A = this chain, B = another copy of it.
């Protein structure tokens, strides 16, 4: 049995064709796609697909820790199926998001925490990507 299906089954949620199609699109996807991108892609081979279903499926997947909702784009939700700890390089010109596979343990002095229990961190590095730097230097 395919890995994807095996992983899906382990969630103990109904395996519908729509969910499989979305999961299939997300598998290994490094584009941090928006709902719109997911809908457009999946509905090509699944014309009856509705936005409501995409939202439903994504919310389910987030709840089951299969994908993460990321808040880098203030205009819309984006989703990341890459669940290992990692960070993002965000190009301020083209808004592209590049994964950075590293794990930083950043110490914050007790007195700055004000009783906050630290559980993890996510770093957004911003700058200019190679392609954009190549284009024009304004």
Query: Is A124 in contact with chain B by the CB < 8 A criterion?
Result: yes
Query: Is A73 in contact with chain B by the CB < 8 A criterion?
Result: yes
Complex partner residue of A114 from B69, B72, B98, B104, CB under 8 angstroms: B98
CB contact under 8 A between A129 and B115, given known A71-B74, A74-B77, A123-B121? yes
Interface size class of A (residues with CB under 8 A): 35 or more
Within 8 A of B (CB), among A93-138: 98, 100-102, 104, 106, 108, 112-130, 133
Residues of B within 8 A of A115 (CB): 129-130, 133
Query: Is A31 in contact with chain B by the CB < 8 A criterion?
Result: no
Query: Is A92 in contact with chain B by the CB < 8 A criterion?
Result: yes
Residues of B within 8 A of A22 (CB): none
Query: Is A21 in contact with chain B by the CB < 8 A criterion?
Result: no
Residues of B within 8 A of A112 (CB): 100-102
* In contact, A116 and B129 (Cβ under 8 angstroms): yes
Residues of A whose CB lies within 8 Å of any CB of B are: 69-74, 77, 89, 91-92, 98, 100-102, 104, 106, 108, 112-130, 133
